[in-house]
């Protein structure tokens, strides 16, 4: 199904009943026994591994959790560029994104009250290729940044509840 | 290196010079040409794929970006439980986490001004096993939730800059 069809099908379904706009996602994560840092991740049929680098006590069998967070942002930006280029009829022949983020590890380790555990700042550099003008791609960037789910998740507050079962 | 050694080494390095607390992470993401939705993700030596499900115009060759975001949170919770259990000398024989989140897709598709593109809510269910009391594990949960980097990234605002190159 082409992206323009997905956009049109979503518009029609939501116009019929806003309830159709709801979508639920999930992930299951478990410590691999016998290791301190390896985590088995299941997302529907997809299996992934998270781990720490050797310098941080792991075996580097996969990206670490904060790297997965940056990958989520980068891949969400790429997909949002594709969808919004289709929606706005902007030609786009390639899109790539580099995400980097900085942490103060005193936050995670509880070594300084003022240090937050999460990223202190993240930057996203975007390369677009295609026949449109710089201005048109700049308009596209602004629409993408208004509608990218993971960018919104990072930039704004999101209610997250945790509970022990 | 055991987690208690990592904790001690970090404490020592940071006490010597707070500059040592800084850490940088990154991810590179590119649309796979010939596809609308497939994204190749590179994180140091690790390669991943993000994609959409068939119903959303993709080929389901990997989790989608918002699923990666939930996986980042779940794996970060698991790792933070391991590190803080070691730090607080709390015995823990297993930890697993289930994360679920809900989205209003009108946000992403620009179909309703009031709908945010990101998750409207996320819940994290945690299963811990071991010989300690329920109260001790509840204390552990509180420390984990104060220090988990991805939980902080989701719950609080993080500055994210984007630019076209």
Cα dist from A95 to A118, B36, B86, whole Å: 27, 11, 43
Q: Are A38 and A59 in contact (CB under 8 A)?
A: yes
CB contact under 8 A, B63 and A46: yes
Q: Which two tokens stand for residue A68?
A: 């997965």
Pairwise CB contact (< 8 Å): B39 & A126? no
Q: Which residues, 6 or more positions from B136, have their beta carbon under 8 angstroms from its beta carbon?
A: B90
Residues of chain A with pLDDT under 50: none
- B154 chain-A contacts, CB cut-off 8 A: 153-154, 158, 160
Distance in angstroms (rounded) separating the CA atoms of residues B107 and B102: 12
Report pLDDT for B21: 96
Tell me the average pLDDT across B42-60. 96
The phi-psi region of residue B136 (left if phi > 0; otherwise alpha if psi is between -120 and 50; otherwise beta) is: alpha
Closest CA to A48 of A34, A36, A33, A65: A65
CA dihedral B14, B15, B17, B18 (to 10 degrees): 50
Q: What is the pTM of this model?
A: 0.98
CA of B132 to nearest chain A CA: how many angstroms apart? 14
Nearest Cα of chain B lies from the Cα of A131 at a distance, in angstroms, of 15
Task: Print the SS3 string covering A80-140.
Answer: HHHHHHHHCCCCCCEEEEEEEEEEEHHHHHCCCCCCCCCEEEEEEEEEEECCCCHHHHHHH
Contacts of A88 (CB under 8 A, 6+ apart): A139, A140, A143
Binding-face residues of B in 41-100 toward A, CB within 8 A: 41, 43-46, 48, 50, 52, 54-57, 60, 62-83, 86-87, 94-100
Interface residue A124 vs chain B (CB under 8 A): yes
Query: Above 90 in pLDDT, residue B1?
Result: no
Q: Mean per-residue pLDDT for B19-30?
A: 97
* Structure tokens, B116: 């945010």
- State which residue of chain B sits closest to A32, comparing Cα positions: B94
Contacts with B115 from chain A: Cβ below 8 Å: 21
Query: What is the CB neighbour count within 10 angstroms for residue B28?
Result: 18
Once rounded to an integer, what is the mean pLDDT over residues B96-101?
Answer: 98
Distances from the Cα of A107 to the Cα of A102, B8, B143, angstroms: 12, 15, 12
- By the CB < 8 Å criterion, does B158 face chain A? yes
A27 forms bridges with which residues in the sheet?
Answer: B99
The answer to whether B133 faces chain A, any CB pair under 8 Å, is: no
Query: Which tens digits make up the pLDDT trace of B4-14?
Result: 999 999 999 99
Going by pLDDT thresholds of 50, 70 and 90, the confidence category of residue B149 is very high
- Please state, as a whole number, how many other Cβ atoms lie within 10 Å of the Cβ of residue B47: 10
Bridge partners of residue A47, in order along the sequence:
A42
A137 touches chain B (CB under 8 A): yes
Q: How many residues comprise chain A?
A: 165
Q: What local confidence, expressed as pLDDT, does residue A1 receive?
A: 84
Q: Would you state the pLDDT for residue A64?
A: 98
DSSP state of B127: E
Sheet containing strand A22-31, edge to edge, reads: A46-50, A39-43, A22-31, B94-104, B119-129, A160-164
A133 has a chain B CB within 8 A of its CB: no
């Amino acid at each position: 199904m082409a992206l323009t069809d997905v956009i049109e099908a979503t518009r029609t379904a939501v116009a019929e009943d806003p309830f159709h706009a709801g979508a639920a996602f999930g992930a299951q994560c478990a410590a691999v026994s016998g290791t301190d840092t390896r985590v088995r991740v299941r997302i529907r049929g997809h299996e992934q591994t998270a781990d720490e680098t050797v310098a941080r006590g792991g075996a580097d069998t996969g990206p670490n959790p904060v790297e997965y967070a940056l990958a989520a942002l980068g891949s969400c930006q790429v997909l949002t560029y594709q969808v919004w280029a289709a929606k706005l009829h902007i030609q786009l022949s390639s899109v790539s994104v580099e995400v980097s983020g900085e942490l103060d590890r005193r936050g995670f380790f509880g070594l300084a009250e003022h240090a937050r555990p999460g990223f202190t700042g993240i930057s996203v550099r975007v390369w677009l290729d295609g026949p449109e003008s710089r201005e048109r791609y700049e308009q596209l960037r602004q629409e993408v940044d208004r509608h990218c789910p993971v960018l919104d998740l990072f930039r704004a507050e999101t209610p997250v509840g945790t509970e022990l079962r």
